[in-house]
Amino acid sequence: MSDNSSDKVISISRLRQACRNCSLRDLCLPMGLSNEDLQRLEGLVGSRGPLRRGDHLFREGDGFHAIYAVRYGALKTYTIDDEGREHVLGFHMAGELAGLDAIYPAEHACSAQALQATSVCAVPFARLESLARDISGLQIHLLRVLSKELGATAHLAADHTAEQRLAGFLYSLSRRLGLRGYSERELHLFMPRRDIASHLRLATETVSRLLARFQQQGLIKVSRKHIELLDPEALRHLGGAMAGAGPEAAERCRGDL
């Protein structure tokens, strides 16, 4: 999606009100900034959406103009290989950032598609980069977010069993939801099983079979897209390093932006 100068700009007071009900307050606004710095940020943040399910925020090859923070809804990022197969790279829920892949080489290396009705805050990167030279908190947070993304990618690329991948994914997802004020035990999957399978580098049938096995073992209770975590600690232990790929990094980022 190309940059659009007519995008509606959100006033800082409205942004604060919106952030009070989600994690944008901690992920997107530097805490403890002076009123002058907050006013300087005011002109940076614009809104996009609402996107309908299936709409794209950006596509692979699009020029890089902004980083995005999900206000509500959810996105998936994915690529298409030479044989036309889709590979899901990640899922982004309310309060999380998307578009960081394009900082270099200034174009998106993947596509971002809405999994449900979704709205985002758009921060033009060129202007953010200029402002970050004066506000050290912005620079620090961007580095931490990039480090988090690299760490999660490294864990996914490592040699893990199918059980570890799925257990770690469920536990990590529950922690991410918990950080946003939702139940850590009651998960409503906003993505289809085929997308989970693609993200974890597994077959869809393997994901379904493992969910059934975890239920038989008393780890979870499955009802279509609803999953109740009956034994989160057992899932964390089974997931190993995969279970720690996301939430701890997100915790370290809280309070900086």
Residue 205 included in any domain: yes
The pLDDT of residue 251 is above 70 = no
Segment among 33-37, 161-165, 169-173, 218-222 with least mean pLDDT: 33-37
Segment among 19-33, 83-97, 118-132, 223-237 with least mean pLDDT: 19-33
Instruction: Please tell me the total count of domains within the chain.
Output: 2
Q: b or e along 13-48 (b: 16 or more beta carbons within 10 Å of the residue's beta carbon)?
A: eebeebbeebbbbbbbbbeebeeebeebbeebbbbb
Residue 173 included in any domain: yes
Average pLDDT over residues 72-95: 94
Selection from 101, 163, 151 nearest residue 251 by Cα: 151
Q: How confident is the model at residue 55 (pLDDT cuts 50, 70, 90)?
A: very high
User: Which of 134, 165, 188 delimits the end of a domain?
Assistant: 134
Please tell me whether residues 27 and 130 are part of one structural domain.
Answer: yes
Please tell me whether residues 130 and 171 are part of one structural domain.
Answer: no
Residue 148 included in any domain: no
What would the DSSP string read from start to end of 13-63? HHHHHHHTTSTHHHHTS-TT--HHHHHHHHTT-EEEEEEPTT-EEE-TTPB
For the four alpha carbons of 165, 168, 173 and 179, in that order, the dihedral sign comes to negative
Angle CA(6)–CA(12)–CA(14) in degrees, nearest 5? 85
- Distances in Å between the alpha carbon of 26 and those of 51, 182, 237? 23, 16, 28
Please tell me whether residues 96 and 166 are part of one structural domain.
Answer: no
Residue 129 included in any domain: yes
Q: How confident is the model at residue 59 (pLDDT cuts 50, 70, 90)?
A: very high
Residue 206 included in any domain: yes
Give the 3-state secondary structure percentages of the chain, helix then strand then coil, rounded to 5: 45, 25, 35
Average pLDDT across the chain, whole number = 79
What is the model's pLDDT at position 2? Answer: 39
Residue 257 included in any domain: no
Plot region of 240 (φ>0 → left; ψ -120 to 50 → alpha; else → beta) = left
Instruction: Give 104-146 pLDDT, tens digit per residue.
Output: 889 999 999 999 999 998 888 887 777 777 766 667 767 777 7
Within a 10 A sphere around the Cβ of 218, how many other Cβ atoms? Answer: 10
Rounded CA gap, 186 and 183, in Å? 6
What is the model's pLDDT at position 228? Answer: 97
Please tell me whether residues 91 and 51 are part of one structural domain.
Answer: yes
What is the model's pLDDT at position 199? Answer: 95
What is the model's pLDDT at position 27? Answer: 44
Rounded CA gap, 18 and 215, in Å? 37
Q: How confident is the model at residue 221 (pLDDT cuts 50, 70, 90)?
A: very high
Q: How confident is the model at residue 69 (pLDDT cuts 50, 70, 90)?
A: confident
pTM over 0.85: no
Reduced to 3 states (helix: H, G, I; strand: E, B; else coil), residue 166 is helix
The pLDDT of residue 24 is above 60 = no
Given a contact cutoff of 8 angstroms between Cβ atoms, the answer to whether 50 and 119 are in contact is yes
Single-letter amino acid code for the residue at 102: A
Question: At 106, which CATH number?
Answer: 2.60.120.10
Please tell me whether residues 129 and 184 are part of one structural domain.
Answer: no
Note down the domain range covering 81.
12-134
